[in-house]
Chain A
Amino acid sequence: MGHTSRERTLWSIGILVVLLYALIPVAWITSLSFKSPEEVGDRKFFSGFSTENYDVVFSDDTFLAALINSIGIAGIATLISIVLAAMAAYATSRLDFTGKALILSGALAVAMFPPISIVGSLFDMWRAIGIYDTWPGLIIPYMTFTLPLAIYTLSAFFREIPWELEQAAQVDGATPFQAFRKIIVPLAAPGVFTAAILVFIFAWNDFIFANTLTSTDNARTVPAALAFFTGASQFEQPIGAIAAASVVVTIPIIIMVLIFQRRIVAGLTAGAVKG
């Protein structure tokens, strides 16, 4: 490679700037979450250490219920979205059928609607059919809004897989579905996990649907629950507690990314065909 020391210094400075830009807000929230209510406004980065806020957060039934709702709803939405997207992406990347362009542009059109423009009608519809404030009531819009992204991501990965592999499997005696399940999906694993992370993050972070389509602990997810957060008593500013809750909801995302990142190994297809 032969980087000069000048190049290295510039790179280091660049990386440092990006890291500071990205991490300072996170560090600030983390620091806030460990402050006692009296220290919250002191404008210092380090001032004492108390886990009081975390005690508040974890003793709050609303928050715990929201955490379970978030994990359940985001998880199920991700699962359904990825399974459907994988099949759709496979079909659009491998088969030539009439209406293919229509389906792809239709999928894109779905993603183009700003959520805020349809959330009102969803509210009415969900109340009419009785899934307002339920898990399905959130899973359905999450799945719908993430499908286009997942389809596009996955079809990019599917297209990279040599078609011969699938034909080899067919000649070897596999049905099209077996070839898909045993050859294509394992090879597209990096793509599947990438899409899964994106879908999960969308569902986990969503506020608009969660806030509008829920009303109780029944289905309210963490981002919505945070808005209703009151802290230990009604007379306190709940800043510290919100900070603690924010840190807590960030952790599952970090864990999720770390787990899947190990599966996103580049070059998994190396050796399939002559390189």
Chain B
Amino acid sequence: MAQITMEGLTKRYPDGYEAVRDMDLAIEDGEFVILVGPSGCGKSTALRMIAGLEDITEGELRIGDEVVNDRAPKDRDIAMVFQNYALYPHMSVRENMGFALKLRKLDQDEINRKVEEAARILDLEQHLDRKPSQLSGGQRQRVAMGRAIVRDPAAFLMDEPLSNLDAKLRVQMRTEVSRIQQRLGTTTVYVTHDQTEAMTLGDRVAVMRSGMLQQVGSPMELYNDPVNLFVAGFIGSPAMNFMPATVHGDSVTLPIADVRLPQGMREKLGRAEGKQLLAGIRPEDFEDAALTGDARDRGSTFPAKIEVLESLGSELYAHFTVTTDQQIESQELRELAEDVGGGEVPMAGEEGHIVARLDPQSGVRVGQESELWVDAARIHLFDPGDGRNLTIDATGPAATGRGQGPEGRDPAVPPREDERPAEGA
């Protein structure tokens, strides 16, 4: 049990490439922190620096109260679960799980007791004498977990442990990982590129991009108050809809409609008057205008021709397109589009694709012109230049990462309670 503190952690390769840049993150004792980001964002490198498998170029890493920068992996008291499990193929499940204990020269009875206890937690008791090659993917994954659990280490490090499982098993193991972590209360750092995993598992989520931390917070904080365009587009599924926007007086002009902004938001946008901005609207912040009830005054209605309707029973996704004559250029959006397939912005003369999540009671029909509603209070407005979210209080790092400091986020903010968004929201 221990906290893990990273201060200015940097990984620079001999060719000058920086995989991780000036990373500050304080992980509390017993906390479950997720590092998430698209591939190549440095999340695995950061994890491997904590494990001691990568040298730290600059900065300081503390596990517990001790600086461990120069300690070998074996002296850091951490356990790691690898993406491809890395089970020892010539050893049985029992030997795999007991290997670390054997190296520590525990006596055989003690090893057996611990291994069997871990096997019971992971439901592996009947497989203890089999070889990894005789196990299914899910079982191998559990053995890899078991190898970490028996050690009772200061921290678990997990590098995309579920990415090799099929979809169904992944959901099942996700719950399992969460259950085990809560039961053991061991500090855990978990790396994934899957934002759903990040949202459902972690006490806190740290979003990374191009080697830099973008935002650290509870899943709900990231979802509701993304500090920049990247976090907004990366977190959430289906992704946030983006469209060009301009603020005029107390309303914002969107390709769909002119929307009157609430007073609070208007004040924050002070200097953005007339500037070309990017608006981000989450699918669930749209609604069928006929079903908005009392909330109708909070937003504006607009007509939309529904092209595709996807009904999942509990929710209804309506797809429609908007056109605009505004030209907007954003590096972050282009990267987002490449990374996660989101972040599509309608350009001048082009059609933009918008997804709205409606109440399943809605009566909208495919091909029909329907009256939809958008919640003005929930619109995010971003500066297309540096990607900052102009509608939240906190000033986070710009998504472009040029000349930003760690101001505006406190790495030591204790984890919030278990606030989690509804799955698929």
Residues on B close to A: CB < 8 A? 51-53, 72-74, 78-80, 82-90, 99-100, 103-104, 131-135, 137, 140, 147, 151, 164
Contact = CB atoms under 8 A, between A and B. Distances in A.
Contact of B85 (A170, A183, A187, A274): A274
Nearest to A175: B74
Contacts of B100: 172-173
A165 interface: yes
A167 B86 contact: yes
B72 A272 contact: no
Contact of A268 (B51, B83, B90): B90
A272 B90 CA distance: 8
A170 B89 contact: no
Contacts, number: 86
A165 B104 CA distance: 18
Nearest to B159: A164
A268 B89 contact: yes
Contact of B74 (A162, A170, A183, A274): A170
A208 interface: no
Contact of B90 (A173, A178, A186): A186
B104 A273 contact: no
A172 B99 contact: yes
Nearest to A273: B84
Contact of B80 (A171, A175, A182, A269): A171
Given A170-B53, A173-B104, A272 B89 contact: yes
A49 B74 CA distance: 67
B64 to A, nearest CB: 17
Identify which of A162, A165, A172, A183 gathers the most chain B CB atoms within 10 Å of its CB: A172
Nearest to A267: B133
B74 A174 contact: yes
A171 B137 contact: no
Given A172-B147, A271-B131, A183 B88 contact: yes
A19 interface: no
Contacts of A269: 89
A38 B135 CA distance: 66
A20 to B, nearest CB: 39
Contacts of A165: 86, 88
Nearest to A168: B86
B186 to A, nearest CB: 15
A274 B140 CA distance: 9
Given A272-B88, A274-B164, 11 more contacts: A162-B86, A164-B84, A168-B82, A171-B79, A172-B74, A173-B100, A187-B88, A187-B90, A271-B89, A272-B89, A273-B84
A165 B135 CA distance: 17
B87 A272 contact: yes
Nearest to A163: B86
A270 interface: yes
Given A174-B74, A272-B87, A169 B80 contact: no
A56 B86 CA distance: 58
Interface string A254-270: 00000000000000111
A169 B53 CA distance: 11
A274 B99 contact: no
Interface string A138-164: 000000000000000000000000101
Contacts of A178: 103
Contacts of B74: 170-175
Nearest to B14: A96
Contact of B53 (A167, A268, A271): A167
A171 B131 contact: no
Contact of A271 (B73, B82, B132, B147): B132
B74 to A, nearest CB: 4
A167 B52 CA distance: 10
